[in-house]
Amino acid sequence: MERKYTLADVNILIKTDFDFDDVERYIPFISDFDTPDLTYEFITVDKLPELPEEPIFYDGMVRICRKDGITYRCYAYSKLSANAIMTDERINEGILTIYVSRLIVCSLQSEMRVFDHLAIEHAMALFGGTLLHSSCISYEGKAILFTAPSQTGKSTQAELWRKHRNATVINGDRSLIKLKDGVLHAFSLPYCGTSNICKNYSAPIRAIVILRQAPYNRISTLRPSVAFRDLYEGCAANVWYSDDVKVICDLVEQMIETVPVYLLECLPNEDAVNTLAEELGL
């Protein structure tokens, strides 16, 4: 089976030797093109490749190992057994290979589960982008991003802008930040956490707003060092890829230099919307 997608202007081809079912939120990202920028090849095997015992760069639900210049990303539900392994042995050809155990291939027969194995944060970094944990709205043709740890109110503030300013909520949980024509843009991806809100959209970034819950509404401009720390912490970084980290650092620097970055200490009410809107001159 083959399926083509365009994510943040990157043409991605997914090839599998099994079928998978469509999921509605991925449909807007289905595309057509002649030549992919990146290809994922899913190969079902009876026995997964042997992993090097060390060095291990990360050891959790995903284990990262490297040997002879090849990075192995092991997907597992426990440390005792692997379900799938991605390798970048053919990345110079624009191909990432995912070996899938025949025992669990039935669990991948959904578009959502296939996408869970794409390591999309690494794929986007290969093309100069980074994922920022944020809700994204479109207002007057530009993007406003609300970023904060989970359960801090990103989706709530986005929804307040929809309700009181007729903004469009583009994505409830993730934004891809990338330069387009020399300007920082926010792109939506079909990853949206529990919000289930994601539209195929991109726009120049008007502002990035770091949220803090408070018993009042107050906005301030952050010092560059504080803004860098908070924005970097909100990005999905594969720290075992030094090039990915450089991409993120460069983009965070550009965010701080070219886009207003605010701290909004706020309540979940209309006055929070008005406080930000007034600061932005809207």
Q: What are the residue ranges spanned by the domains of the chain?
A: 2-118, 129-280
Nearest to 254 by CA among 240, 279, 273, 235: 235
User: Residue 95: CB partners within 8 Å, gap ≥ 6?
Assistant: 38, 39, 40, 41
Show the tokens assigned to 134.
């944020």
- pTM for the model stands at 0.89
Pairing relationship of beta strands 62-67 and 70-75 according to DSSP bridges: antiparallel
Could you say which architecture CATH assigns to the domain 129-280? Alpha-Beta Complex (3.90)
Each of the 282 residues of the chain gets a pLDDT tens digit; together they read 999 999 999 999 999 999 999 898 899 999 999 999 999 999 999 988 887 777 677 777 788 988 888 999 998 755 556 789 999 999 999 999 999 998 888 888 899 999 999 999 999 999 999 999 999 999 999 999 999 887 778 899 999 999 999 999 999 889 999 999 999 999 999 987 777 788 899 999 999 999 999 999 999 999 999 999 999 999 998 888 999 999 999 999 999 999 999 999 999 999 999 999 999 998
Residue type, 66: R
User: Can you tell me whether residue 100 is helix, strand or coil?
Assistant: strand
Model pLDDT, residue 78 = 55
| The residue to which tokens 């993730």 are assigned | 174
Distance separating alpha carbons of residues 182 and 34, to the nearest angstrom: 26
Model pLDDT, residue 233 = 93
Task: Give all strands of the β-sheet with 62-67 in edge-to-edge order.
Answer: 2-7, 10-16, 38-45, 95-101, 84-87, 70-75, 62-67, 56-59
